[in-house]
Amino acid sequence: MLKHASALALAAAWQFACAPASAAQAIQPEGERSAQIERLDVAYVIQPDGSYTETREQTIKVLKSDALEYVKDSSIGYSTSIQKVEVLEAYTLKPDGRRVPVPKSNYQVQTNGGHGEGAPVFSDRTSMTVVFPELAVGDTTVFKYRLTGSQPMFDGQFSEVETFPRETYYGQVDLRFDAPAQLPVKSEAWRMERVRDEVVGDRRLSHWRFQNRQPLLPDQSASAFRFEDQPGLVYSTFAGYGDIALAYGARAKPKAAVTPRIRKLADEIAGTRKEPRDIAKAMYEWVSTQITYAGNCIGLGAVVPHDLDFVLDNRMGDCKDHATLLQALLTAKGIPATQALINSSSLYDLPRTPAVAMVNHVITYLPEWDLYLDATAKGIPFGMLPYPDMGKPVFRVDGYREGTTTPAMVPGSGRQTVKTRLKVGADGSIEGQADVELQGMYAVTTRAAFRGSTTDQATQGVKRYFQQMGQDGTGSVRMDDPEPLEDRYAYQVNFSVGQLMPVPGAIALTPIFPTEAPVMRFAAQANLEVDEARPSACASGFSQEEYEIEFAKPVQLIAVPPDVDLKGSAFSYRATYKRDGNTLRVTRVLDDRTPGPLCEPGYNRDYRDFMQKVLTNLRAQVVYQ
């Protein structure tokens, strides 16, 4: 049940971060706060076409000197092509009521732009920062601005997500929406008081309020994010997530047109291949390896792919560009494909109310094989998805079906076997060999680590590793070619190191070199903090370690740990220790079949308790003299 999700994020426009909150978290002691948000007032005025203005006012009080560094300035990020910003108020408020306005010289603007008269092609994001003057402990910063969105992301549609971490002090938050009464608005709020919801003339006025004057301590668990666990709100005119996929597809699908250039390129990539699946694999691998990633943050370009000629000329693009190019190449060879929207951060359950912010990534779906591909995730073999894409709600542009999810990791598909042979000299020196074989995502991750390294560089890495341990050691490495996008990988390390083991002494057996998935990586979750209220992100894995240790005379084996055979609901551990004269043979097998991608608290408790027993065995020592 190895955890892969720790930072929990969504998208704002297409990406924003938010922190989880656990029902088991303790209240933050008042004296520990360095600063606090006294007031946050947010007001949206929406027009029938989906354009809007957002007015936001925030006051922050400095309680301790260590907060001065991060409270001294406030920033606004916006897209210059479809948004403009006007600062309405910015000043430092002293305890006696005196205001110290922010002078114009304290405004800093950073803009992404093209060279000379040229327009930027990947980002027109601008950041405006105001620096508050004469700020001291006890002061309050006041910052109010208006952001005008002259063009909606999607015509006639508006959606917004606001979240307020329970670890942050909020004296009071007011959130208001002023929208045309004819817009089909729906909303969903958590832990917020609805103050107003009424139609006045031709406008619908909505108002929510929230206070958090007893913030919680930071959440240390690996719990998955759930909207209902923290204050927040989703406000949207979209009827469903399928409508978001359709709105995106209306602009993206024309970009995937099969032009003569696309057809020629598809023929070149396919070469002599005849089987459709082999052709699809070649197309995917070409896009994944030949098109580099570059984020697209230009106005409406945030939801519209670039023209494919631009992508091919520059050999770069964002996730939408990758998916669109792959779709066009597949279509050119008669292979059906469509794009699909997901949230690639740690969000597994989406609120009922749909919003564009809920989807921040685009992948490709091949209906002929019910297969999802993510060409943006470099190094992932054909037919596999990276961890952030697994087990997520997915919204296909064509063939949308409510409740569809991407495949979760197949239990047991990630496998590692390490065979270590050691000859221990009478002085504690060691000559040895370690053979590592990996499958599934473990192989993918290890390939990525070795990719770009030569055998000579890896060999030098062995020497540096021993030097960092304060040991005089040398070694050599033989490894498979890490470049291919495959889910199998193997390498071998031969090494010699002086006086690594104390003689006489006792040691707990562990792999000589770091690997992707040692048994200890699983057992370390014996110290996992279990959230009793929420599930956590989880995955399966298999790890086998074999040791053959030959002790040179006069060194003698005195004691070895007992054999262990443990079984849990979806996991097991077996360890055997066999002595043959001065040779010890050990086999440890940890088989974790956790289904994932989410594990409930009860399962996590059982898993933790099970791994405590495994950890006890791993700490048991081999004694020799």
> Would you kindly state where each structural domain of the chain is located, as residue ranges?
9-25+33-238, 244-396, 415-624
Integer Cα distance of 432 and 412 in angstroms: 29
| Residue carrying the six token digits 């099969």 | 258
Q: What is the pLDDT of residue 405?
A: 97
6 burial level (CB within 10 Å; 0-12, 13-18, 19+): exposed
Integer Cα distance of 299 and 302 in angstroms: 6
One-letter amino acid identity for 490? Answer: A
Q: What is the pLDDT of residue 120?
A: 58
Rounded to a whole number of angstroms, the CA Rg of the chain reads 29
Q: Which residues pair with 16 in a beta bridge?
A: 10
Helical (H) or strand (E) element with 123: none
| Residue carrying the six token digits 């990630």 | 414
Q: What is the pLDDT of residue 24?
A: 54
pTM for this one? Answer: 0.89
Distances in whole angstroms, Cα of residue 439 to Cα of each of 48, 284, 413, 471:
54, 20, 7, 32
One-letter amino acid identity for 452? Answer: G
Does the domain spanning 9-25+33-238 belong to CATH 2.30.40.10?
Answer: no
Which residues of the chain carry a pLDDT beneath 50?
2-23
In eight-state DSSP terms, residue 169 is -
Integer Cα distance of 442 and 515 in angstroms: 9
Nearest to 46 by CA among 189, 181, 193: 181
How many Cβ atoms are within 10 Å of 166's Cβ, its own excluded? Answer: 24
Nearest to 619 by CA among 507, 544, 543, 527: 507
Tokens (6 digits) for 407? 């495949």
Residue 116: partners with Cβ closer than 8 Å, 6 or more residues away: none
Integer Cα distance of 566 and 574 in angstroms: 6
Q: What is the fold, at CATH topology level, of the domain defined by 415-624?
A: Jelly Rolls (2.60.120)
CA distance between the termini of the chain: 38
Residue 32: alpha-carbon gap to chain centroid: 30
Give the Cα-Cα-Cα angle 216, 219, 222 (nearest 5 degrees): 160
Three-state SS at 33: coil
Distances in whole angstroms, Cα of residue 142 to Cα of each of 44, 206, 218:
19, 25, 26
Integer Cα distance of 125 and 121 in angstroms: 11
Q: What is the pLDDT of residue 81?
A: 82
Decide: 189 and 175 in contact? Cβ < 8 Å: no
Three-state SS at 441: helix
| Nearest-10 crossing angle of helices 260-270, 276-290 | 110
- 316 phi/psi in degrees, rounded to 5: -155, 160
Q: What is the 3-class SS of 206-246, one letter each residue?
A: EEEEEEECCCECCCCCCECCCHHHCCEEEEECCCCHHHHHH
Decide: 355 and 234 in contact? Cβ < 8 Å: yes
Q: What is the pLDDT of residue 118?
A: 55
Contacts of 450-454 with CB under 8 Å at 24 or more apart are 450/479, 450/482, 450/489, 450/491, 451/379, 451/482, 451/483, 452/482, 453/482
Tokens (6 digits) for 152? 């909606």
- 592 phi/psi in degrees, rounded to 5: -105, 110
Q: Which residues pair with 566 in a beta bridge?
A: 573
| Residue carrying the six token digits 């005849």 | 274
Integer Cα distance of 419 and 547 in angstroms: 6
Integer Cα distance of 64 and 339 in angstroms: 50
Q: What is the fold, at CATH topology level, of the domain defined by 244-396?
A: C8orf32 fold (3.10.620)
